[in-house]
Amino acid sequence: MFVYNHIRCSLLKTEKDMEYDWSPQQQESETVSENTEVSESCMDLRILRDEVNFIQSVSQFYNEEALSDIILIVNKDKYFAHKFVLAKSSDVFKAMLCEKNWSHGNKAEVELNETQECQQVFDKFLRYLYTAEVSISTSSAVGILCLADKYDVDSLKQLCVGYMSENSRSPKVKNALSWYPWAKALHFTELIKQCTRTIAWNFLEIITSSEWTSMDLEFLYDMLLSSELVIPNECAIWQALSKWLLHESHLEHLKDNAAKLLPLIRFPQMIVSQLYEIEQGELATNLETKHLLHELLSKAYRFRALCPSQVDLSISFNEPFYIPRDYTELTVDNVRMQNTLRFGIQVDVKMYKGPVPSENRDADWKITYRKQGEVWTLLLYCHETGLIHNEARVQPSIIVFNDADKVMQVYREPTCVITRGNTYNIQLSVEQPSVSRHMSVLLKPMPQ
C-alpha cells in the first residue's frame, strides 16, 4: 500500500511538472505571485531593539562578584569581571581568554601591567565595557585613550579622539601641547592635525613661555616644518630657536641639534638688517654651527639677488625654505567683524612689491568687503604699482580672532595670480561667529 501511494504521488508530481513544462506563462505567473507575497512579507519585517534595558542589565554586573569568572588585577586593585563581557568588547581580551596559545584563559586571576596614567582610570575603562558610557575629563583622557588603544576597543577610541579633538581646539593650547605626543605615538591622525593646528596658531605664546627651552627636539622639528605658524615674522622664530639651542640643557648636542633644526628657519623671508644681525650673533661664530649658518645665510642673500629676475633666469624658488608662513606683519587690513560699515566698503591698502621681503610698502591694492549671513566675500584688486610682468602672485590668508586676540580660525587661499585689471574673489565662512570679533587680512607674496 505504501509503495502504491508513493508511486501515485510521484506520478502526480510528474504530471504537474509536465503541465508546467507545457505552460511557461502559467509557471511565470505563479512565480511572480509567490515573489510578491515574499516581498510584501519583507516590507512588514522590522527589527526591534531594547538597547537601554540590555545595557542596564549588563551594567549591573560591573565589578560584581556574582557570576564573575575572572579577576583582573591592576597594581593593587582587583576587579571582578566576566569573560563574556571582556571578550565581546575587546579583541585583545578575547584572544587572551579564548585562544589556546595564551596562558590566561584558564586562570581565575589575571594581572595586567599598566602605566600610571592607565592605572588611575582603569575603573572607568572597565565600566565602559559594561555600560557603553565613560566619564572623561582633560586629566583622564590620555589614560582612557591608551587603554582603549591597547585593548582595541574601537568605539571608545573614537569617543576619546572626538572629545580630545574638540578640547584641543584653539585657544586651548595647554591641552594641545599635552596631547600632541600621545596622538603622534598612537598614530591618531585626526587628533594630530587638531593639536598641530592649535599649536601653530598660538606659536608666539609657546615660544615666549617659560617652558620653551624644555620642549622636545622632535616637537620643535615637527613645528618648524609647518607653513601654518602664525607668528609676527621669521626672525621671531630664529630668536626662539637660538635661545633653545644655546640653553645649557642642549649645549652638549649643539652641533646635531643645529644640523636638524637650522635648515628649517626660512632665512629668505627676513629683511637685510635681520640677516646682518644674525651674522654678528653667537651661533654665527660658534665652531659647531657657523659653517652651516653661513651656508644658509648665503642662500638667503642669493634669493634676494636672483628672485626679482627669476622669470628671465628660469630659476625656481618654490621649496618651503623660500615660502612665507602666516606672518602677522604681512597684515594689510584689520576688520571689526561686527562693524556693519564694512559691508560693501572698499579699502585701499599697501604691500611690498614682489616676493622679496622689504620694509618699503609701495605696492597699491584694493580690498572690497561684502557679507551675507556668516559668509564674507573679499575682492582683491592689484594696482599697476604692485604688478611684475603684468601680474601679482600672492597667497591670501585670513586670521579670525576672539575678544582676547586668540586665533579662532585661519583661512588660506591657494596661491593666486592676479593680472592687470582683474579681481580675485575670496569667500570665508566664519566657523564660530559667536566668539569671532575681528579678522586680519594677510597678503603673502609668493615666488615661482
Higher-confidence residue of 180 and 83: namely 180
For residues 259 and 292, the answer to whether their CB atoms sit within 8 Å is yes
Residue-wise pLDDT tens digits, 431-440: 999 999 999 9
62 band by pLDDT with thresholds 50, 70 and 90: confident
415 band by pLDDT with thresholds 50, 70 and 90: very high
Q: What is the mean pLDDT of the chain?
A: 89
Average pLDDT for 297-310: 96
Residue 60's pLDDT is what? 76
46 band by pLDDT with thresholds 50, 70 and 90: confident
pLDDT at 202 over 90: yes
- Separation of first and last alpha carbons in the chain: 100
Residue 104's pLDDT is what? 55
Higher-confidence residue of 1 and 279: namely 279
Q: Which three-class secondary structure state does DSSP give residue 123?
A: helix
Please report how many Cα atoms fall inside a 13 Å half-sphere around the Cα of residue 318, on the Cβ side: 7
Residue 260's pLDDT is what? 98
Average pLDDT for 88-109: 78
Residue 19's pLDDT is what? 43
pLDDT above 90 covers a percentage of the chain that reads 75
pTM: 0.85
Residue-wise pLDDT tens digits, 336-358: 987 655 567 899 999 999 999 99
pLDDT at 12 over 50: no
Mind giving me the DSSP string for 41-64?
HHHT------HHHHHHHHHTTTT-
Residue 67's pLDDT is what? 84
55 band by pLDDT with thresholds 50, 70 and 90: low
Residue 61's pLDDT is what? 72
Q: Pairing between strand 375-382 and 70-74?
A: unpaired
Query: Is residue 234 within a helix (H) or strand (E), and if so which, with residue range?
Result: helix 234-245
pLDDT at 20 over 50: no
List of residues 6+ apart from 342 with CB closer than 8 A: 335, 336, 369, 371
CA distance 214 to 249: 8
Query: Quick one: 52-166 is in which CATH superfamily?
Result: Potassium Channel Kv1.1; Chain A (3.30.710.10)
CA distance 123 to 130: 11
Looking at residue 247, what DSSP letter applies? S
Residue-wise pLDDT tens digits, 355-376: 999 999 999 999 999 988 889 9
Burial class (CB in 10 A: 0-12, 13-18, 19+), 56: exposed
pLDDT at 398 over 90: yes
Residue 178's pLDDT is what? 97
Residue 240's pLDDT is what? 98
Residue-wise pLDDT tens digits, 63-90: 788 888 899 999 989 999 999 889 999 9
Class of the CATH domain delimited by 326-445:
mainly beta
Residue 205's pLDDT is what? 97
pLDDT at 186 over 70: yes
CA distance 296 to 274: 14
Burial class (CB in 10 A: 0-12, 13-18, 19+), 3: exposed
Q: Pairing between strand 230-231 and 326-327?
A: parallel
Residue 100's pLDDT is what? 66
Residue-wise pLDDT tens digits, 241-269: 999 999 999 999 999 999 999 999 999 99
Residue 418's pLDDT is what? 96
Residue 325's pLDDT is what? 98
pLDDT at 24 over 90: no
